[in-house]
Chain A
């Protein structure tokens, strides 16, 4: 199990770095711009703490590296790796496609059919939720979900701490 507090500190550090870069570029951002910047840098920082060991983190970074300033600050050349990652994604999709085709061709009884369809609906929903989830098979999906949930929980804890701290400063009484 990775060290929770060190992961959170790493996440915080990267997040702050990203935010600072963002604030250097743009002055006087509107509320929504700020919110988007905060969320984006938080997501990227969280993904980079996983150090590209998980697919969802790779997909998250790849999806968001159109923002150049974040790319240069949060992780080491995600732009370069995003292209390789997109290549990996396509190869993964090619690989995982045959499985889906095979399962569709099998004959089943109606009850099993319904059950299978329910499962497919749910796995599709989960795949849509997870970044980069479309190209995963079931076993990988479950493992990635596990990791993603843990990272999300860490991220939320850190963010909540930050909100608490800033609120405490503003409203000490």
Chain B
């Protein structure tokens, strides 16, 4: 995982350098450095970092927005670390990994501002908590131009930047700790903004506590939904296997002309939460989808000609010739669902067998075993359709 690194070191540097710098000198560099934050989330490495207050994993941004928004938000807070700075950082108690960088670092050479920074740099002390972070160098164009060793600086420029450059804003505390805290807080508030978009009904809530409440409720409701849906699935499916691999085989059924009117009827009678989505899904073309559509058409056409009897006993008598736990299924599902499953289900399943060219006068005796694979296949293909939306 990536972690943001080394901010306190850099921030401390900047805090000190700012005290003797004029702000307008750095602004050019700031705007150039603002692009640094584009790589912020991709190139931070850390070794043995102990301070948990800055120990934040950088998640892959949940929306395309984060990278540009973070860069714009922090563009005013970027700072410049000159090669001298990095040298002085490298010289005290830091770990071995800094050493290869020092050579690169020395290459930077001196503009006027770098020289004035140098005085401050020598007074820089690295606190224990940032000891082992790895630092690579950011040089801007000015420094490249003035660099004595162009090779080192260009190498630093092409090298993946690992620093987070933070600048204290005008009128704010420049203490390194507060800088780090501020960055951390900004990150958290940024993520809270994404959460606000994700969690419905959070647009009006501004406080962190209220937001957290909403988030907690939402996560709880999502988890409860998962529970409920798994219960529903367990009730609907007498067996666990769904025979999806037949779905991917795609060659079981003869190609039939899709019957969209019947599909529309089927989907409109659907009790799902998104009937429109289901209907739209059916209109997507796919060999499997056509298969499903024609099977649905068949079910509807033939089911209408049959006379469903609302008798539970009838269902049981239908089920008993088969040595499968079908009554159990119905009992389970009727206990779970508010609506009773009509006996036309059985007719529907039996009609499906027509696709297999099984003799229709003996639907119950012979149809049941093959009907389940077909059922699994069709429902899986339904699912595939809906997911391809």
Chain A residues near B (Cβ < 8 Å): 1-2, 5, 8-9, 12-13, 16, 19-20, 22-24, 28-29, 31-32, 34-35, 37-39, 42-43, 53-55, 95-96, 98-99, 115, 118-119, 122-123, 125-126, 129-130, 137-140, 142-150, 152-153, 155-156, 158-173
With A143-B191, A159-B229, A172-B348 as known contacts, state yes or no: A148 contacts B219, CB within 8 Å. yes
A99 in complex: contacting residue of B52, B192, B300, B383, CB < 8 Å? B52
A104 to chain B, nearest CB (A): 14
User: Contact partner of B219 among A28, A39, A53, A129, CB < 8 A?
Assistant: A129
Across the interface, do A31 and B194 meet the contact criterion of CB distance under 8 Å?
A: no
Min distance, Cβ B30 to any Cβ of chain A, angstroms: 24
* Contact for A143 among B59, B198, B237, B386, CB less than 8 A: B59
28 A-B pairs with C-beta separation under 8 A: A16-B380, A35-B233, A54-B59, A96-B52, A99-B52, A119-B208, A119-B212, A139-B188, A142-B195, A143-B56, A143-B59, A144-B59, A145-B195, A145-B215, A145-B219, A147-B59, A147-B62, A161-B382, A162-B242, A162-B383, A166-B375, A168-B266, A168-B267, A168-B382, A170-B345, A171-B345, A171-B348, A172-B348
A22 touches B240 (CB 8 A): yes
CB distance from A48 to the nearest CB of B (A): 16
CB of A119, distance to nearest CB on chain B (Å): 6
Please tell me if the beta carbons of B209 and A118 are within 8 angstroms of each other in the complex. yes
Alpha-carbon distance A127/B240, docked complex (angstroms):
32
Give min CB distance, A26 to chain B, whole Å: 9
Q: Does B325 lie at the interface of the complex (its beta carbon under 8 Å from any beta carbon of A)? A: yes
**B226, A28: Cβ atoms closer than 8 Å:** no
Bound Cα distance A155, B384 (Å)? 14
Main DSSP-derived SS at the B contact region: helix
B residues near A (Cβ < 8 Å) are 1, 50, 52-53, 55-57, 59-64, 184, 187-188, 191-192, 194-195, 198-199, 208-209, 212-213, 215-216, 218-220, 222-223, 225-227, 229-237, 239-242, 244, 266-267, 269-273, 278, 296, 299-300, 303-304, 325, 332, 341-342, 344-345, 348, 375, 378-384, 386-389
Contact in complex: B240, A20 (CB < 8 Å): yes
CB of A34 within 8 A of CB of B240, answer: yes
Separation in Å of the B143 CB from the closest CB of chain A? 32
B236 close to A31 (CB less than 8 A): no
In the assembled complex, the Cα of A147 lies from the Cα of B1 at a distance in Å of 15
Chain B residues with CB under 8 Å of A137's CB are: 52-53, 55-56
CA distance A139 to B62 in the complex (A): 14
Residues of B within 8 A of A32 (CB): 234
Q: Contact check: which of A20, A98, A163 meets B236 at CB < 8 Å?
A: A163
Question: Contact at A159–B233, with CB atoms within 8 Å?
Answer: yes
The answer to whether A23 and B386 have CB atoms under 8 Å apart is: no
When the two chains form their complex, are residues B382 and A139 in contact, meaning their CB atoms are under 8 A apart? no
Q: CB distance B55 to A39 under 8 Å? A: no
Taken together as a complex, chains A and B put the C-alpha atoms of A143 and B184 apart, in Å, by 12
Q: Which of B52, B56, B272 contacts A167 (CB under 8 A)?
A: B272
Find out whether the CB atom of B242 lies under 8 angstroms from the CB atom of A170: no
Give Cα A62 to B342, complex, Å.
43
* Residues of chain A within 8 A of B233, CB atoms compared: 35, 38, 159, 162-163, 166
Is A170 within 8 A of B218, CB to CB? no
Please state if B240 and A37 are interface contacts (CB–CB under 8 Å). yes
A155 CB contacts on chain B under 8 angstroms: 226
Contact residues in B for A37 (Cβ distance below 8 Å): 234, 240
Contact (Cβ within 8 A) B237 A34: yes
Chain A contacts of B234 at CB under 8 A?
A: 31-32, 34-35, 37-38
* Residue of chain A at shortest CB distance from B348: A172
Q: Which of B188, B227, B296 contacts A138 (CB 8 A)?
A: B188
Which of A42, A95, A169 is close to B52, meaning CB atoms less than 8 Å apart? A95
Contact: B213 with A168, CB < 8 Å?
no
A149 neighbours in B (Cβ, 8 Å): 195, 198-199, 215, 218-219, 222
Cross-chain contact of A169 among B55, B213, B218, B378 (Cβ < 8 A): B378
Instruction: Check if B55 sits within 8 Å of A95, measured CB to CB.
Output: yes
Q: Is A166 within 8 A of B64, CB to CB?
A: no
Contact A142 to B229, CB < 8 A, known contacts A99-B52, A149-B218, A161-B382: no
Q: Smallest distance from the beta carbon of B225 to chain A beta carbons, Å?
A: 5
The 8 Å CB contact of A12, one of B57, B273, B383, is: B383
Beyond A95-B52, A165-B379, A171-B345, whether A129 also contacts B220 by CB under 8 A is: yes
Indicate if the CB atoms of A146 and B198 lie closer than 8 Å: yes
Q: Is the CB of B382 within 8 A of A164?
A: yes
